[in-house]
């Protein structure tokens, strides 16, 4: 290599004064760009959420029917697809080049992919807001949108696929150029899992959205059931990308906030592997009332194979809190079973957000998901508000909240800005977490009374039949409305904090890097010691507190599961 080349290469990096990581500047810029666009998408999605809450809350019933479905489409797409995926692209640029200390092989390609994704998303939103794509994010055929809508989705997906391939190229470059020693860090491994599932997902996406685009142009026919089967290869697997990504974030945050120690990295890696192997099967739970597939296929896929992916989540559900507990015990909080928890850094939104994400995802999302995804029980949950009740505690209380927690570390470490409105930031994960838990629980209860999802008018005015829900639903609608408003407030607090920090925040100086500075999370002020990195032979402490918590979880799980079998038996008047 010539001196010039070495100089050029060196100019591509900066050294992080907190973590000591060597950071590729283009990778850093791409983290920033993707994160900023993600927040803009969240703002669009949250505005739509507010209108949806105020419409479904029957006492208010704000929007007319057409605007309800338009906003429902906008909300699903801007939240579940655009906000979450732009954020995940930022995570890939972070977990690949930055964590591994590697260069980004093709920065220009990175910017081009970003542009492609933005163009795709803007095209989709234009069609949705001008009322030419009222098809909801599932876009079930034969509902038809303008061709530009499907084209937008395809451009967005191609951009995403190229980012994922670029991430895989980073892994090859980092391994070849030996930028890290030992095995691949667990966080990068989790991101790799997400990337592999993303490739599978996006290929399903191409298989369904390219023909649908041609269909919208009048060039071919599509069978509605074939659409649904292939679509859910995309729709469900993409949720497993989210789970893999947020579990990787949990491990990262456990390390950054309290110096978490993973009990057994091999087991965690195997659990990530199970996601890849069993995830496509679980998509069967979206097809349980469809006539397309037979009962044996349905029972096998949703009652047996699904549990292997669920098992993987339960492994992480144990190892993440255990790693926090063991990190805290090494920090000296060894009294009794729960001193580590009581004396945890609760005032750090990075920490509280992570813990709330684990709890809401596990207790809320995990338990309801396994239950309503069971072939037999599914029929009493199908197309009721129980379904969005379930996914608002998985992808919102779990994934979105984990991403919010991570943001509090990304702002000072990558944007190098002190977190603005620090007092509000400490509260934000609680407001969002409590709001979304209330909303999710209320939806679940309303669903138990049979209140449908995706339905504008549950009084059924002008319908040829009459149906009334029990008076108790009024109470749960109030809980739904209030919880929804609190959750939207939490989202807006996050957006305000992120935007003001990025565009008007104070730059972090070395003098700020000490404990107790406002706007600097405690783990950034003083990076916690990662004992195993200093001394590979150190004694692991065990996690007796986590064992108790897991026991409580399993009891709740069993209770909810069997109560639902009971509810099913009432319906069928068995015995």
Measured from the CB atom, is 94 or 231 closer to Cu ion? Answer: 231
Q: Specify whether the CB–CB gap between 179 and 101 falls below 8 A.
A: yes
DSSP 8-state class, residue 125? H
Q: Specify whether the CB–CB gap between 435 and 487 falls below 8 A.
A: yes
Confirm or reject binding of residue 137 to ligand HEM (CB under 6 A): yes
SS3 (DSSP) at 15: strand
Among the listed residues 124, 395, 438, 549, the single contact to ligand HEM using CB under 6 A: 395
Q: Specify whether the CB–CB gap between 426 and 349 falls below 8 A.
A: yes
Give the nearest distance from C-beta 314 to Cu ion in angstroms: 17
Confirm or reject binding of residue 396 to ligand HEM (CB under 6 A): yes
Give the nearest distance from C-beta 431 to ligand HEM in angstroms: 11
Q: Specify whether the CB–CB gap between 390 and 372 falls below 8 A.
A: yes
What are 452's strand-pairing partners?
A: 384
Confirm or reject binding of residue 402 to ligand HEM (CB under 6 A): no
Q: Specify whether the CB–CB gap between 393 and 466 falls below 8 A.
A: no
List Cβ neighbours of 176 (8 Å cut-off, separation of 6 or more): none
315: nearest Cα among 245, 360, 268: 268
Measured from the CB atom, is 259 or 398 closer to ligand HEM? Answer: 398
# residues contacting Cu ion (CB under 5 A): 1
# residues contacting ligand HEM (CB under 6 A): 25
Residue 418 touches which of ligand HEM, Cu ion, none (Cβ within 5-8 Å per kind): none
Q: Specify whether the CB–CB gap between 325 and 339 falls below 8 A.
A: no
- CA pair distance 334, 340, nearest whole angstrom: 7
CA contacts within 13 A on the Cβ side of 490: 28
Q: CA–CA distance from 431 to each of 56, 271, 424 (Å)?
A: 21, 31, 10
Q: Specify whether the CB–CB gap between 257 and 351 falls below 8 A.
A: yes
Confirm or reject binding of residue 381 to ligand HEM (CB under 6 A): no
> Rule CB under 5 A: which of 282-321 touch Cu ion?
none
Confirm or reject binding of residue 440 to ligand HEM (CB under 6 A): no
> Rule CB under 5 A: which of 228-287 touch Cu ion?
236
Could you give the string, one character per residue 196-235, with x where binding to Cu ion holds by CB under 5 A and - elsewhere? ----------------------------------------
**Token pair recorded at residue 525:** 């002020």
- CA pair distance 516, 205, nearest whole angstrom: 47
**Chain position whose Cβ is nearest to Cu ion:** 236
Q: How many other CB atoms are found less than 10 A from the CB of residue 494?
A: 28
Confirm or reject binding of residue 400 to ligand HEM (CB under 6 A): yes
SS3 (DSSP) at 460: coil
Residue 208 touches which of ligand HEM, Cu ion, none (Cβ within 5-8 Å per kind): none
Candidates 217-225, 271-279, 407-415, 481-489: pick the segment binding ligand HEM (CB under 6 A).
Answer: 481-489
SS3 (DSSP) at 346: coil
Give the nearest distance from C-beta 179 to ligand HEM in angstroms: 33
**Token pair recorded at residue 32:** 């920033």
Q: Specify whether the CB–CB gap between 521 and 439 falls below 8 A.
A: no
SS3 percent helix, strand, coil of the chain, rounded to 5, is 70, 0, 25
Give the nearest distance from C-beta 236 to Cu ion in angstroms: 4
**Token pair recorded at residue 126:** 């234009």
SS3 (DSSP) at 450: coil
Candidates 162-170, 214-222, 395-403, 461-469: pick the segment binding ligand HEM (CB under 6 A).
Answer: 395-403
- CA pair distance 248, 188, nearest whole angstrom: 8
Give the nearest distance from C-beta 51 to ligand HEM in angstroms: 9
Residue 412 touches which of ligand HEM, Cu ion, none (Cβ within 5-8 Å per kind): none
**Token pair recorded at residue 558:** 């069993």
Measured from the CB atom, is 54 or 527 closer to ligand HEM? Answer: 54
Among the listed residues 136, 169, 199, 527, the single contact to ligand HEM using CB under 6 A: 136
Confirm or reject binding of residue 72 to ligand HEM (CB under 6 A): yes
Give the nearest distance from C-beta 44 to ligand HEM in angstroms: 11
Q: Which residue has the tokens 């497993």?
A: 240
- CA pair distance 525, 537, nearest whole angstrom: 27
Q: How many other CB atoms are found less than 10 A from the CB of residue 375?
A: 18
Confirm or reject binding of residue 388 to ligand HEM (CB under 6 A): yes
Among the listed residues 13, 37, 39, 75, the single contact to ligand HEM using CB under 6 A: 75
Q: Specify whether the CB–CB gap between 54 and 60 falls below 8 A.
A: yes
Confirm or reject binding of residue 491 to ligand HEM (CB under 6 A): yes
User: What is the phi/psi pair of residue 15, to 5°?
Assistant: -105, 130
Residue 170 touches which of Cu ion, ligand HEM, none (Cβ within 5-8 Å per kind): none
Residue 236 touches which of ligand HEM, Cu ion, none (Cβ within 5-8 Å per kind): Cu ion
Confirm or reject binding of residue 390 to Cu ion (CB under 5 A): no
Candidates 30-38, 201-209, 332-340, 486-494: pick the segment binding ligand HEM (CB under 6 A).
Answer: 486-494
> Rule CB under 6 A: which of 44-63 touch ligand HEM?
46, 49, 52-53, 56
Confirm or reject binding of residue 418 to Cu ion (CB under 5 A): no
Confirm or reject binding of residue 358 to ligand HEM (CB under 6 A): no
Among the listed residues 35, 80, 202, 355, the single contact to ligand HEM using CB under 6 A: 80
Confirm or reject binding of residue 484 to ligand HEM (CB under 6 A): yes
Confirm or reject binding of residue 392 to Cu ion (CB under 5 A): no
- CA pair distance 337, 342, nearest whole angstrom: 10
Measured from the CB atom, is 236 or 426 closer to Cu ion? Answer: 236
Measured from the CB atom, is 193 or 242 closer to Cu ion? Answer: 242
Measured from the CB atom, is 138 or 506 closer to Cu ion? Answer: 138
Among the listed residues 79, 118, 202, 344, the single contact to ligand HEM using CB under 6 A: 79
- CA pair distance 268, 265, nearest whole angstrom: 5
Residue 392 touches which of ligand HEM, Cu ion, none (Cβ within 5-8 Å per kind): ligand HEM
**Residues in touch with Cu ion (CB under 5 A):** 236
- State the residues that interact with ligand HEM by CB under 6 A: 46, 49, 52-53, 56, 72, 75-76, 79-80, 84, 136-137, 388, 392, 395-396, 400, 439, 453-454, 484, 487-488, 491
């Amino acid at each position: 290599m010539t001196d010039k080349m070495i100089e050029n290469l060196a100019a591509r990096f900066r050294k992080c004064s907190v973590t000591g990581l060597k950071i590729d500047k283009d990778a850093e810029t791409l983290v920033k760009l993707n994160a900023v666009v993600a927040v803009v998408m969240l703002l669009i999605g949250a505005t739509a959420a507010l209108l949806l809450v105020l419409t479904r809350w029957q006492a208010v019933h704000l929007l007319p029917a057409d605007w309800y479905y338009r906003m429902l489409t906008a909300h699903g797409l801007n939240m579940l697809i655009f906000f979450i995926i732009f954020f995940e692209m930022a995570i890939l640029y972070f977990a690949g080049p930055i964590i591994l200390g590697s260069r980004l092989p093709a920065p220009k390609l990175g910017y081009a992919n970003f542009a492609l994704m933005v163009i795709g998303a803007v095209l989709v939103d234009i069609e949705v807001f001008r009322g030419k794509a009222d098809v909801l994010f599932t876009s079930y055929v034969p509902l038809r949108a303008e061709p530009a809508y499907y084209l937008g989705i395809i451009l967005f997906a191609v951009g995403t696929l190229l980012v994922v391939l670029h991430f895989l190229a980073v892994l090859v470059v980092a391994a070849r150029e030996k930028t890290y020693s030992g095995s691949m860090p667990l966080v990068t491994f989790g991101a790799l899992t997400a990337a592999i599932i993303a490739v599978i997902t996006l290929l399903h996406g191409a298989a369904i959205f390219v023909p649908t685009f041609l269909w919208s142009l009048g060039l071919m026919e599509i069978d509605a059931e074939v659409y649904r089967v292939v679509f859910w290869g995309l729709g469900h697997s993409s949720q497993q990308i989210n789970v893999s990504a947020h579990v990787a974030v949990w491990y990262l945050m456990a390390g950054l906030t309290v110096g978490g120690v993973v009990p057994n990295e091999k087991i965690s890696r195997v659990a990530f592997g199970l996601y890849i192997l069993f995830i496509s099967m679980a998509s069967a739970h979206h097809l349980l009332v469809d006539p397309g597939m037979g009962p044996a296929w349905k029972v096998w896929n949703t009652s047996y194979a699904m549990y292997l992916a669920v098992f993987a989540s339960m492994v992480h559900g144990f190892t993440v809190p255990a790693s926090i507990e063991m990190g805290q015990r090494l920090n000296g909080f060894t009294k009794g079973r729960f001193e580590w928890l009581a004396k945890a850094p609760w005032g750090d939104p990075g920490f509280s957000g992570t813990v709330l994400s684990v709890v809401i995802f596990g207790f809320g999302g995990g338990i309801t998901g396994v239950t309503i995804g069971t072939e037999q029980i599914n029929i009493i949950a199908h197309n009721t508000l129980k379904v969005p009740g379930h996914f608002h505690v998985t992808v919102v209380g779990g994934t979105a909240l984990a991403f919010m927690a991570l943001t509090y570390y990304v702002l000072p470490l990558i944007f190098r800005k002190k977190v603005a409105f620090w007092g509000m930031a400490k509260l934000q994960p609680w407001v969002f977490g409590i709001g979304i838990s209330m909303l999710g629980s209320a939806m679940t209860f309303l669903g138990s009374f049979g209140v449908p999802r995706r339905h504008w008018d549950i009084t059924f005015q002008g319908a040829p039949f009459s149906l009334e829900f029990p008076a108790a639903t009024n109470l749960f609608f109030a809980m739904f409305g209030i919880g929804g408003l609190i959750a939207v407030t939490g989202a807006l607090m996050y957006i305000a904090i992120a935007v003001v920090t990025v565009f008007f925040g104070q730059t972090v100086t070395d003098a700020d890097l000490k404990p107790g500075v406002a706007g600097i999370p405690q783990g950034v002020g003083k990076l916690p010691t990662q004992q195993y990195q200093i001394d590979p032979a150190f004694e692991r402490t065990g996690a007796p507190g986590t064992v108790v918590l897991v026991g409580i979880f399993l009891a709740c799980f069993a209770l909810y599961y069997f109560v639902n079998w009971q509810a099913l038996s009432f319906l069928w008047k068995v015995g």
